[in-house]
Structure 1
Amino acid sequence: MKNAESTAIDVAPDTNHSGPIAKKKSTTPLLAAAPVPVRSDRGTHRMKRGLAIFDIILRIGVLAAALAAAATMGTSEETLPFFTQFFQFEASYDDLPTFQFFVIAMGIVAGYVMLSIPFSIVCIVRPHAVGARLLLLILDAVAMTLNTAAAGSAAAVLNIAHAGNSSTNWLAICNQFGDFCQQASGAVVGAFAGVLLFLLLILFSALSLKNSH
């Protein structure tokens, strides 16, 4: 009987490795070994919170300016010391519809700003609240328009009160009613200060919304 042929196959030793066990080659790309930097939103969060805090400070300033303007114009009144039995020379804000509109408009602006302060506090607690910020931006623009209209119309009337208008025979009454015109002028200056603060509010609100995206 013939001997069965051996089926064993000799395997040549691996001479590429010094150890008995071959080390597995790494197939990971070299670039993947470097850590990928993770962007942190901490700086953006702090900036948005800072803008929200500055927003409420500006609103308090607008509220003070609007209340001061309305109160100053609403109490503007002067009576000349000389009068007769039948005539008394007196100047008051309610003698002019423009000044009446000024007082009402500044009262509305002050009321709006007072109601908007809680929304501004929400923006401090939640700096990423886009809806509240967008609502304030729209309402601030409307309130600034009303404030500008009141201040501009009152300034036009005061200009006529100071300089007069010879074409329409309007006399310059500020030569006689100096205290009245001075008080009304102070109210108009306060109203224009509110317009400037409103402009800053709108700019900072727009900047905060831009950083939200």
Structure 2
Amino acid sequence: MNSTEAAAAPSTSITVGNGSADAAAGAAKPAAAPPYRIRLVRLVKREMKRPGGWKRSLACFDFFLRLLAIAAFVSAAVSMGTDSEMLPFFTKDFQFYADFADFPSLMFFVLADAAAAGYLAFSLLFSIFCIIKPLLTCPRLFLLTFDLLGVALTMAGASAAAAIVYLAHEGNSKANWVAFCMRFQGFCQQSSGAIIASFVGTILLMLMVALSALSLRRH
């Protein structure tokens, strides 16, 4: 090969570009963490595969429901227990006022909701024990039994109070009972809100009964 051919021959060169460096840098970077929802789903699936894992999940949900029910019953009892109203006009001998203590049904309502709230606060200990030991049946049987009693008690109290408040709102023309709430609007509104909160707590208790019955299954 003469000098002319050597000059005409193409020259080849090997260059190391940025591609290999970028690839190495990409390999060195840690993988991005999965989103929170994906990690939560994986955690739940892993927990469900463990022995008694699904029962532990039910126990955690039961604990959350008990907290909500305590708030509902406490608010209902406090709202009804502080319900009173006095009309601005009165005479020398007569004062027009309404107080929950004047109605035995409303008194029973307050006592029933207060008792239910106290029981639910005590039952949190058994609910926590069910989370720690989900395969044991004795704590769950205790909760199931007394939750049923709580449903009966609170349903009776809320139903009795609802009947009185309904008559106060609507009256009864056949018995010549006038609508009490035409004058005492604030009293009736507060008592109605307390009854709604009590019914919400009773529904939550029913859900707890269903969860307890479901967790007593062997499989």
TM-score bracket for the superposition, by shorter chain length: 0.7 to 0.9
Q: Which one has a larger percent helix, Structure 1 or Structure 2? A: 2
1:101-143 CA deviation, whole Å, 9 max, x = no partner?
1111111111111111100000000000101101110110001
Give me the CA root mean square deviation.
Answer: 1.2
1:134 paired residue number: 141
Q: Which structure has the greater CA radius of gyration? A: 1
Q: Distance in 1 between matches of 2:52 and 2:104?
A: 48
The one of 56, 59, 80 equivalent to 2:66 is: 59
Residues 1:209 and 2:216 aligned together: yes
The one of 110, 115, 138 equivalent to 2:122 is: 115
1:42-73 CA deviation, whole Å, 9 max, x = no partner?
34522111100001100111111110000000
Task: Indicate the SS of the match to 1:121.
Answer: helix
Equivalences for residues 1-213 of structure 1 within 5 A? 42-43=49-50, 45-210=52-217, 212=218
Most deviating of 42-51 and 115-124: 42-51
> How far 1:168 moved relative to its partner?
1.9
1:142-197 CA deviation, whole Å, 9 max, x = no partner?
01100000011100111100000122222211010000000000000000001110
1:7 paired residue number: none
Q: Distance in 1 between matches of 2:175 and 2:136?
A: 55
Task: Indicate the SS of the match to 1:153.
Answer: helix
Q: Distance in 2 between matches of 1:89 and 1:154?
A: 21
Could you say if the C-alpha distance between residues 87 and 194 of structure 1 is closer, same or farther in structure 2, counting changes exceeding 3 Å?
A: same
Q: Distance in 1 between matches of 2:158 and 2:201?
A: 9
Most deviating of 168-177 and 71-80: 168-177
2:23 paired residue number: none
Task: Indicate the SS of the match to 2:216.
Answer: helix
The percentage of counterpart residues that share the same residue type is: 46
TM-score, normalising length from structure 1?
0.78
TM-score, normalising length from structure 2?
0.76
Which runs of 5 or more residues in structure 1 are unaligned?
1-40
